[in-house]
Structure 1
């Protein structure tokens, strides 16, 4: 039994179904829950956009506040650090004579690099480090293939996984947490992060608020208050309103709720109200999310290069600043693209249907470097998730997991099909 351990929270900001937290509690006499506001997350990327924009930053701060409250109810608190994790975490290790740090396992290049730097500094202090997978529906160890042999076509992955793998049960939240006397630290304000608070536009599909409590409220609303889950497959391509889709993605991205929690709640819903193609489809979407994470484990840095996982495929490297600005600001020749881009700019959110169309337009009609569009999404999206964002953009650009190789959307046809009465365009273009 270890005397003192750190639980380093990252994008797993919850106390329910959090294996990292529970494992640390089982193996230690007391724990120190920490979150490090990584300064690199608030800098500019090489594409000229902020790595984290104001919508996602505000959502993060709300999620941290909620996690802090939850931990305090269990007898602990959340220690907020600010700076470089590899500098700040070792300070706490030294101060409290910490013997082990537990954290969520990372899969993307930058995040893994940070994890490695922290590990190297901890090694110097004779402090152990253990990373635990907490982000996926299916555990990587339970898949019917190794990471290296996962098929590059989603359908092949899905069929075999559904048939041969099981989803592990959720882990109950702890009832008590023992911690040493911890310093009272403050969650920074958005201005302290170098950002301005952007008031959410009243036309937003939802008044998104970060935190596990809000995630569970949203789940309850979508499943039980409205029973919207029962018609999800028919409505998921909607553009206007709160309930055409689940809108779980911002909470999933920060780990305010786990994919497994959603899965088992779907199963509970099915026992109460019956299963149909809609209840299955939500699980299907969670599998897509898993798939992109596993693809990142398999292909690593390839998703960040122009040719993606298609090796030497020649892609556009056009960086025309005027075309990019027109796309961002909704000044293109397509009213459907403009409406979607204005929604993203003013709310930090856009429907799945919208995302596919604006990405296709960016890549295929403006012929711009797809990575620039991806980087803008990284800044803007309240639900930014590294593997889903870069994986989906690569897919649309024809350098990812699309077996057809090139996905070209007829924007006018899409607008007529999904916004026949121009309700969406009239909402955002007035």
Structure 2
């Protein structure tokens, strides 16, 4: 094989647009070899006896890799796909195809960075360099107005300084021409069973939308949300919604796997503001992108402390005696609190839950049921279609009071929240049709029904009081 060949190792950057490792490989190399490895460690059980990657996200991942492969096929090449450990597979490919250098994007969570280190060590034995790039954030690390160790632990302080002193870099253009070596064994896309995933992929018509993985679908959603439906116009007013596709952007699943670049979304915000004028809704969406950056940089600052019960605050939340029993009921959506259980039913059936729902079910598990917050975070890791380590564990630590929340006594009264955000009970009725006949006064508190009313409505569930009913709420920081 003549010329300089660069191997491009894809991980959570499954796109052609705004992809520096791809752009640089095309610019510096004579040929590129794109590679994706399905690492079996990503499909194992966690120490909490949950799966690291559940069936919904695995399906979304397979679709995303298939779409990336199609993009390379359209460019005259293909994507090498392998099932196995990257530290074994990549050195083999380097030797087989006489690779000059390997490019990849840095990760921040310990397991991912550990795998990078193993790959780097294996390549070093072959005298091959693993070149690191930064490509998952809105703001580049080198453009931050402070070193990582000095990033404020309060988001507001971070935001103010970022907005004043930093700028978002332009996106990288998708390469117009790519050259691929000949006679490459590209391999086949595995199916769920080959990754150790069994069972049927859940499908529910009540899902907020039909998520399909891949850059193509991500860019379609971007176009639809901003321009076709113009839903971004009302984001500020609808972002706490619970039903339907357009109360929020739903970009998170594609961003989590890198099918959609945060800078691409930011660029669309700027285009929209030029046409319609800047407003609270586009600014609100920008803040969500900034929160993603923030948690990622917090992981750089504090490392594995986000995977410890005490977080970086040093004190673990109180835990109850019945937490294992309560945790199982919470997972199954059987706590007896309709608003909490409806959200958990949605998660289990679709792999998605609204931001408002996530905050409530997490607070309820930790603050009311007094269950180990790490169990909840691990369950979300398995179930969420849009899971990414920094966002998930950072948000759970925040809710548990061991992370970036400056208010350690923050508490979500789920009954008050249900009445505020589901006042007519439409969301609860969607996921609990058996409660649909109930009036507004009982839809969120069916345990208040008399025996005669229970018999009248033929309720077979919620006959007894819930395991915990926060009717009085907390004394501090109540939301």
So what's the TM-score if we normalise by structure 1?
0.98
Instruction: Look up the match of 2:130.
Output: 129
1:146-161 → structure 2 map (5 Å cutoff): 146-161=147-162
Q: Does 1:68 align with 2:69?
A: yes
Note closer, same or farther for the CA distance 1:222–1:318 as it changes in structure 2 (3 Å cut): farther
Q: Superposed, which structure 2 residues align to 1:11-410 within 5 Å?
A: 11-181=12-182, 182-195=184-197, 196-313=199-316, 315-316=318-319, 320-410=323-413
Distance, in Å, in 1 between the alignment partners of 2:100 and 2:108 is: 25
Distance 1:295 1:315, change over 3 A: farther
Aligned partners of 1:117 and 1:90: how far apart in 2? 11
Q: Distance in 2 between matches of 1:312 and 1:358?
A: 22
Equivalent in 413, 429, 451 of residue 426 of structure 1: 429
CA contact (8 A) 2:320 2:369 kept: no
Bigger-Rg structure (1/2): 2
Output one character per residue of 1:20-63: Cα deviation in whole Å (capped at 9) or x when no partner: 11111111111110000000000100000000001100000000
Q: Report the Cα distance in structure 1 between the residues aligned to 2:301 and 2:396, rounded to whole angstroms.
A: 17
Contact 1:100 1:127 survives alignment (8 Å): yes
User: C-alpha deviations, 1:104-163, integer Å up to 9, x for none?
Assistant: 111110000000000000000111011101000000100100001000000000000001
1:317 and 1:25 map into 2 onto residues whose CA distance is 56
Distance (whole Å) between structure 1 residues aligned to residue 73 and residue 105 of structure 2: 21
Q: C-alpha deviations, 1:168-215, integer Å up to 9, x for none?
A: 001100012111122131111112212133132110000000000100
| 2:10 matched residue in structure 1 | 9
Contact 1:143–1:161 (CA<8 Å) still a contact in 2? yes
Q: Distance in 1 between matches of 2:71 and 2:146?
A: 38
- 3-state SS of 1:137 partner: coil
Distance, in Å, in 2 between the alignment partners of 1:97 and 1:319 is 58
Q: Distance in 1 between matches of 2:177 and 2:314?
A: 50
Shift of 1:317: 8.0
After superposing the two structures, state which structure 1 stretch, 353-362 or 266-275, moved more: 266-275
CA contact (8 A) 2:323 2:370 kept: no
Q: Which moved more, 1:417-426 or 1:83-92?
A: 83-92
Q: Which runs of 5+ in 2 are unaligned?
A: 434-479
Q: Once structures 1 and 2 are overlaid, which stretch shifts more, 314-323 or 264-273? A: 314-323
Shift of 1:318: 6.2
What is the rounded CA distance, in whole Å, between the counterparts of 1:312 and 1:367 in structure 2? 14
Deviations 1:221-260 (A, max 9, x none): 1111111101101000000011000000000000001000
**1:320–1:368 contact (8 Å) kept in structure 2:** yes
Deviation, structure 1 residue 354: 0.1
Mean Cα displacement is larger for which, 352-361 or 1-10? 1-10
**TM-score, with structure 2 as normaliser:** 0.88
Distance 1:74 1:410 in 2: 53
Unaligned ranges ≥5, structure 1: none
Deviations 1:243-302 (A, max 9, x none): 000000000000001000000101101111222100111001100000000000000010
Mapped contact 1:306–1:315 kept (Cα < 8 A): no
Q: Is the 8 A contact 2:323 2:369 kept in 1?
A: no
